[in-house]
Structure 1
Amino acid sequence: MSWLLPVALAVLASSCFADRVLVLTENLGIRDTHSIYLGSIKDRGHQVLVRTADDASLALFKHGELIYEHLIILAPGVQAFGGSLSPKEISKFVDAGGNVLVAGSSKIGEAIRDLAVENGFEFDESNTAVIDHFNFDSSLDTGDHTTIVVGKDQLINAQLIVGDTTKIRPVLFKGVALIKDPSNHLALDIVTAASTSYSHVPGQIAENVAVAGKKTLLVAGLQARNNARIVFTGSVDMFSDAYFNAFATSANPARTAERGVATGNAALVSAITQWVLKENGVLRVKNVEHHRVGESQPPPREYTIMEDVEYAIEIEELKNGKWVPFLGKDVQLEFVRIDPFVRTTLQNKNGRLSSQFKIPDVYGVYKFSVDYRRVGYTHLLDVRQMSVRPLWHTQYERFIRSAYPYYASSFSMMAGVVLFSIAFLYHKDSAKVSVEAAKKKH
């Protein structure tokens, strides 16, 4: 039985380091209606705790530390969160590095609306829905054209967030519209509505429509400056087992290929969730080194102007729970004093990115800076400071070619002084000679 102890310790260790996910719902029946979605999160190794959104014991922090790494809210109609939860508390959770996924519906509650406003988005009014009279599902729609079919051309061009768009099938959406604040520069339009869609109360004559066309967002998100990720969607139904197992039948005659095919809800929702839970798109720096070209020793205390330097950085990417070499070929290095003096693209060889360059002929305090920002990836920033000194007096060349005119002027002046001295010392004054000759006559 001695083998039980190592196994128990291994299980305990894996449970301790697994990401903890808190799922908030309006009622616990969602564990049945959204079982495939919740099961997929568990299958990927997360600890999932499902609780009602109005539970009086809810909390995100304990003794100043995060209780959960991720928060998923599938409670669109909640008017107020229970316990210590509130939109401001959830924003504090994001500031501490937590990730949030929020799903709404046409029965949107004030708590969800306030949370969206806190993060630069806004859900449309309650009881409204996204309506599209051209791209609705002819088999599942109840006649108000609110069950719409989303094509792959409406997805953001970011494979890390939505998956491979060439393989994603039509997606079913039924819910409320989402609008982004124009000042929200971090916003990502993950899924946009078609140009023929608009937001209004179903069954009523549409007058003075405020939200219409491609400005209507179905799924939106952002990555905060601390790399925390937030996603809002107007449809909790797109996460349901019914939509996962359904077949899309677009009423649009121009989309005959989207009729009678299995929906791509499972693939799209899984890709978005993996991005929110930081299962992909995460970068880290493994090692950084720089030295003079031809040397392999650790970085020197300082460099000298005009020296040839080699810089190398190893970057890893998280894929399928493992850190693998990052294969991106668009990472740039800047050698910065106040402004960049050198900017060069690093050559990638199996995750080791390197480059050689000559230090500018300007001394000062410089930084090796790699600032990598791409949609879908975490912000990667690595800065190494290094001093650059001028040449020692013994390091200058004996004769500098650019100084030849000055050398010539110096030697010409010395030659002139010599000639003048000779003329002054050895040339007799003619006036003095004539005076002496006159004295002799008398």
Structure 2
Amino acid sequence: MEAAAQKTLTISLFMTLISISILPLLTFSFNPDEPTNRQILVLLDDLSLRSSHSIYFSSLQSRGFNLDFKLALDPTISVKRYGQYLYDGLILFSPSTDRFGGSLDLEGVLDFVDSGHDLILAADSNASDLIRNIATECGVDFDEDTSAVVIDHTGYAVSETEGDHSLIAADDFIKSDVILGSKTIEAPVLFKGIGHSLNPENSLVLKVLSASSSAYSTNPASKLSSPPSLTGTGISLVSVVQARNNARIMISGSLDMFSNRLFRSGVEKSGSLKKHGKSGNQQFATEISKWVFHERGHLKAGNLKHNKVGETGEPAIYRINDDLEFSVEIFEWSGASWVPYVADDVQVQFYMMSPYVLKTLSTNQKGLYYTSFKVPDVYGVFQFKVEYQRLGYTTLSLSKQSPVRPFKHNEYERFITTAFPYYGASFSTMIGFFIFSIVYLYNK
């Protein structure tokens, strides 16, 4: 009995040691400073999407992403374990699902994004209330008519089906190299799905692909009896959001836009004399996924330093009117390594309640930004603040506190130039009083 008990104790201790050794791997599997080898959860309505959209998924895998495919109703779905997230990104290619399996729900998806993780959501004309609610929480409102699709009688893609103008050839892209890459997308993007509008109160959401001025959203199977709610360039086909915590979201009204069929399809836009042998879908979807998953436009800053001119050490306190130097390093993730970030609009604030000093930083083109300035003639607790916001780039927010003291009593000049009139007044008063006293005492 004692031998059996000892054996059981040994086994339990062994299992405990194994669990302790594995837990750090679960907890620190992803370093947010280097977005590589990331785990992506892909939820599908049907596993057949894995083959019908294989080109898109293969593109992600070839760039080092590990994709975990599951049905949206899979009861084993879990994005968090022991308080830590198991995935760094979430792709929802399940527009018709009205609930997720396992422990994932609407709040779970929003918490996932609030924790700084990325999301790609694709909908279509069968979009469920769950998918619509997720989009609404992200600042995007799909057409309230659940049967509506985007139709364009001017900018449609020429096809063999006469009168079917719901397959749009869209080419109104956002003008941003950091979001869509520096290489121009020559061919239009084939889009078949539902449109959405942006919440005007949400300043973080951007249109990436817009409909043309002749487009509108309606149910093609019913007669149009009233003006459609979404018309013209107000219709967004694909939008992105960069949250304040730098989490990135892409919302598309078309799941077919990512399919192999439209990736390989040729495109000819109505009214255009140019026919493209291949649509711009693959290039568009690939480039925007690079932005969403932080392969582009991802910044980091560090090594913030400040010191008096002529010194190297960081002082515990500054004195008013001191000359100081400030520097910070900023790098950008290139998809494989950190490279120096070069810009001419990075600024530093010397801040107390409001910025007393605002300086644009110079750069050595190697990631170092620097400047020098004089401490203002105001004492108190100041902060060096760098807050950098630029379209498509992650937001930088750094600060370091440093107090400023006034002159000590023995640090002032003996005679202040600006006080000479007062000195003159004092001495002239004394001399005058002395002369008056002599005259008054000795004059009969």
Q: Is this a same-fold pair by TM over 0.5? A: yes
1:140 Cα deviation after fit: 6.2
- Residue by residue over 1:112-145, the C-alpha shift from the partner in whole angstroms, topping out at 9 and shown as x without a partner, is 1121122222222333211000111113656320
Correspondence 1:350-361 to 2 at 5 A: 350-361=366-377
Residue 109 (structure 1) shift: 1.8
Alignment check: 8 A CA contact 2:40 2:87 kept? yes
Post-superposition shift, 1:425? Answer: 3.8
1:147-175 per-residue CA deviation (whole Å, 9 max, x = no partner) reads: 11111xx1122222122363442111111
1:262 aligns to what SS in structure 2?
coil
Q: Is the CA contact (8 Å cut-off) linking 1:106 and 1:128 kept in structure 2?
A: yes
1:298 aligned to which of 296, 308, 313? 313
The question of whether the paired residues in 2 share the 8 Å contact of 1:25 and 1:53 is answered with yes
Q: Does 1:197 align with 2:212?
A: no
Kindly report structure 1 stretches of 4+ aligned residues shifted beyond 4 Å. none
1:173 aligns with 191
Q: Look up the match of 1:326.
A: 341
Aligned 1:149-164 pairs, distance under 5 A? 149-151=169-171, 154-164=172-182
Residue from 332, 337, 340 that aligns with 1:317: 332
Q: Summarize the alignment of residues 113-152 of structure 1 with structure 2, pairs less than 5 Å apart.
A: 113-124=132-143, 125-139=145-159, 143-151=163-171
Can you list the C-alpha shifts for 1:355-403, whole angstroms capped at 9, x where unaligned? 1111111111111111001111111000111111111222222221110
- The equivalences for 1:388-407 within 5 A come to 388-407=404-423
Q: Do the aligned residues in 2 keep the contact of 1:97 with 1:226 (CA within 8 Å)?
A: yes
* Counterpart among 370, 377, 380 of residue 396 in structure 2: 380
1:256 matched residue in structure 2: 273
* Structure 2 residues without counterparts, runs of 5 or longer: 1-24, 31-36
1:54 touches 1:80 (CA, 8 Å); kept in 2?
yes
What residue number does 1:340 align with? 355
3-state DSSP class of the match of 2:157? coil
Q: CA 1:406/1:376 → structure 2, altered by over 3 Å: closer, same or farther?
A: same
Aligned to 1:416: 432
What is the CA–CA distance in structure 1 between the aligned matches of 2:161 and 2:328, rounded to whole Å?
54
User: Which whole-Å deviations, capped at 9, do the CAs of 1:275-298 have from their partners, x for residues lacking one?
Assistant: 111112111113111111222x22
Q: 403-412 vs 262-271, which deviates more?
A: 262-271
Structure having the higher Rg: 1
Inter-CA distance 45–390: structure 2 relative to 1 (3 Å threshold) = same
**Contact 1:285/1:314 (CA < 8 Å) preserved in 2?**
yes
Distance 1:281 1:141, change over 3 A: farther
Shift in alpha-carbon separation, 1:308–1:328, aligned structure 2, 3 A: same
What is the percentage of aligned positions where both structures have the same residue? 39
Specify the code of the residue in structure 2 equivalent to 1:396. Answer: Y
* Deviations, residues 30-77 of structure 1 (Å, cap 9, x unaligned): 111111100111111111111111111111111221011100011111
Distance across 2 between alignment mates of 1:196 and 1:160: 29
Match of 2:205 among 173, 187, 203: 187
Structure 1 CA distance, aligned partners of 2:66 and 2:313? Answer: 43
1:244 aligned residue? 263
- Counterpart of 1:184, as a letter, is N
Change in Cα spacing, 1:141 to 1:304, as seen in structure 2 (3 Å) is farther
Match status 1:51 vs 2:60:
no
Q: 1:31 and 2:46 equivalent?
A: no
Change (3 A) 1:284 1:140: farther
1:104 aligns with 2:123: yes
Equivalent AA in structure 2 for residue 326 of structure 1: Y
- What one-letter code is carried by the residue in structure 1 that aligns with 2:157? D
After TM superposition, list the pairs within 5 Å mapping 1:218-297 onto structure 2.
218-251=237-270, 253=271, 255-257=272-274, 259-295=275-311, 297=312
| TM-score normalised per structure 2 | 0.89
Structure 1, gaps ≥5 residues long? 1-11, 430-442
User: When the two structures are superposed, what TM-score results if normalisation uses the length of structure 1?
Assistant: 0.89
Change (3 A) 1:331 1:178: same
- Take 1:160 and 1:141, find their aligned partners in 2: how far apart are those partners? 37
- Check whether the contact 1:168–1:267 (CA below 8 A) recurs between aligned residues: no
1:93 matched residue in structure 2: 112
User: What is the Cα deviation at residue 198 of structure 1?
Assistant: 0.4
Q: Which amino acid aligns with 1:37?
A: Y
Count residues in correspondence: 410
- RMSD, aligned CA: 1.8
Separation in 2, partners of 1:142, 1:84: 46
**Cα pair distance change 1:182/1:141, threshold 3 Å:** farther
Change (3 A) 1:217 1:389: same
Quick check: 199-208 or 105-114, which moved more?
199-208
Partner of 2:86: 67
Contact 2:185 2:283 in 1 (8 A): no
Distance (Å, rounded) in 2 between the aligned partners of 1:47 and 1:333? 39
CA distance in 2, matches of 1:157, 1:224: 20
C-alpha distance after superposition, 1:279-326 (max 9, x if no partner) = 12111113111111222x221011111111111100111112311111
